[in-house]
Structure 1
């Protein structure tokens, strides 16, 4: 049976509203309406229901909405023993302290990558990595790792995906994937964002199955190719240790 026939439209819309807050702390009715593509009256009714259940709070002064305490109650009951984002956090902090740059953990979700954990650099000028951010799979060091170690089927789906940007060389990307598999490391310099650089390694579990991509990112003038090469052993060793900690 088609999965789309099993979903409930009102539930989907309510969840879409909650997902608006993955990269914003508070939003107006108009902003939410624009993000989910629904009429204000519909969004207002859904927000009222979410507010009654404690998932959304409304500030009467600003008339903006933010996540309610029920969201935090749910997150408190995450199974920490099974959640890589929580299990690996101490190792990510250790790596951040060793290299001095922002450390992120990415997983693949369809044709996107999602940042599920991040430890920000302590430096004044740094790469800020919001948790929950979704990014394309066709660009960036972590994307290369997630695609390179996911198997040929994922690679072919990505290359044939309609979102593939015009002008982006597929052959060059495939060559980068092969290099990432060989080296266990991928790099990017100003591929997705001007002035930013990153390098990434795979976290593989006991069965040698990809769990996530571990990445270090920072300003390109500080995270130079030579600097990434120098710190690559630290990143790869951290990824190896993390692989022994997850299923």
Structure 2
């Protein structure tokens, strides 16, 4: 059994890489999967055959494209909802949306990216649409600043060093220090034109950072003054949320 330098099994890693290709796509062909994973088509074909036998992927005999199989849904049905922030915090997110009127998102950090694990869309006709599962850069945006500002200092330093060609490090550190002081972060058109956002941290009962709670919308509605007012309500909501999450 071939192992990598980190001690993991190479075939298993490759099979999981194939499954992860379906994060943003519903169905994919053999060539597309090979391009996404960087593996030879013959290797991908063999791994897909194994995944198909076990029910993790299904091949369409007409299009010859693959999609996720029934085993994935069986596994997801057994996720512990009592420990899943995306599930247990949804009612509070909906309540916050109804109060503030804007799109509410929940983010966690995954290495050098942030992932939107839950979202409640604004009811305005012109609104910020936030797709669940989206991976976004960690060096920009209100929620990103929260996930960095309230993480441990070693993580902060390591991440900031990686971004030295993308940001003004001195200015960024000053901003992070201010965020820790006031308890919230804002962004105006930092990642998307016309979009503003304000974010606050969610801590569990052990004061460990769990996620970033964010409100986003058009810049004409989310002014700096409005975001400052929203931040107080968001902090109250985040405090309630934190009490719902197990350490």
* TM-score computed with the length of structure 2 as normaliser: 0.91
* 1:9 counterpart residue number: 10
Change in 2 beyond 3 A, CA 1:3/1:97: farther
* 1:37 counterpart residue number: 38
How many residues are paired up? 244
* 1:98 counterpart residue number: 99
Which runs of no fewer than 5 residues in structure 1 stay unpaired? none
Structure 2 matches for 1:158-177, cutoff 5 A?
158-161=159-162, 164=163, 166-177=165-176
Give, in angstroms, the shift of residue 38 of structure 1: 1.3
Change in 2 beyond 3 A, CA 1:204/1:5: closer
Give, in angstroms, the shift of residue 206 of structure 1: 1.6
Does residue 244 in structure 1 map to residue 243 in structure 2?
A: yes
Separation in structure 2 between the aligned mates of residue 57 and residue 159 of structure 1, nearest angstrom: 42
Separation in structure 1 between the aligned mates of residue 37 and residue 31 of structure 2, nearest angstrom: 10
What root-mean-square deviation, in Å, do the aligned CA atoms of Structure 1 and Structure 2 show? 1.9
Change in 2 beyond 3 A, CA 1:38/1:68: same
* 1:81 counterpart residue number: 82
Which runs of no fewer than 5 residues in structure 2 stay unpaired? none
* 1:221 counterpart residue number: 220
Give, in angstroms, the shift of residue 53 of structure 1: 1.3
Give, in angstroms, the shift of residue 167 of structure 1: 4.9
Separation in structure 2 between the aligned mates of residue 3 and residue 104 of structure 1, nearest angstrom: 37
* 2:229 counterpart residue number: 230
Give, in angstroms, the shift of residue 177 of structure 1: 0.7
Structure 2 matches for 1:40-51, cutoff 5 A?
40-51=41-52
* 1:21 counterpart residue number: 22
Separation in structure 2 between the aligned mates of residue 127 and residue 24 of structure 1, nearest angstrom: 22
Give, in angstroms, the shift of residue 4 of structure 1: 4.0
Q: Say whether the 8 Å CA contact 2:101–2:123 is kept in structure 1.
A: yes
Output one character per residue of 1:4-34: Cα deviation in whole Å (capped at 9) or x when no partner. 4321111111111111122222222222221
Separation in structure 2 between the aligned mates of residue 220 and residue 26 of structure 1, nearest angstrom: 36
Does residue 149 in structure 1 map to residue 150 in structure 2?
A: yes
Q: Say whether the 8 Å CA contact 2:100–2:230 is kept in structure 1.
A: yes
Q: Say whether the 8 Å CA contact 1:21–1:66 is kept in structure 2.
A: yes
Q: Say whether the 8 Å CA contact 2:128–2:216 is kept in structure 1.
A: yes
Q: Say whether the 8 Å CA contact 2:4–2:10 is kept in structure 1.
A: no
Separation in structure 1 between the aligned mates of residue 60 and residue 227 of structure 2, nearest angstrom: 45
Change in 2 beyond 3 A, CA 1:167/1:208: closer
Separation in structure 1 between the aligned mates of residue 240 and residue 43 of structure 2, nearest angstrom: 49
Q: Say whether the 8 Å CA contact 1:59–1:65 is kept in structure 2.
A: yes
Give, in angstroms, the shift of residue 55 of structure 1: 1.2
Change in 2 beyond 3 A, CA 1:6/1:76: same
Change in 2 beyond 3 A, CA 1:16/1:69: same
Change in 2 beyond 3 A, CA 1:200/1:24: same
Q: Which moved further from structure 2: 89-98 or 177-186?
A: 89-98
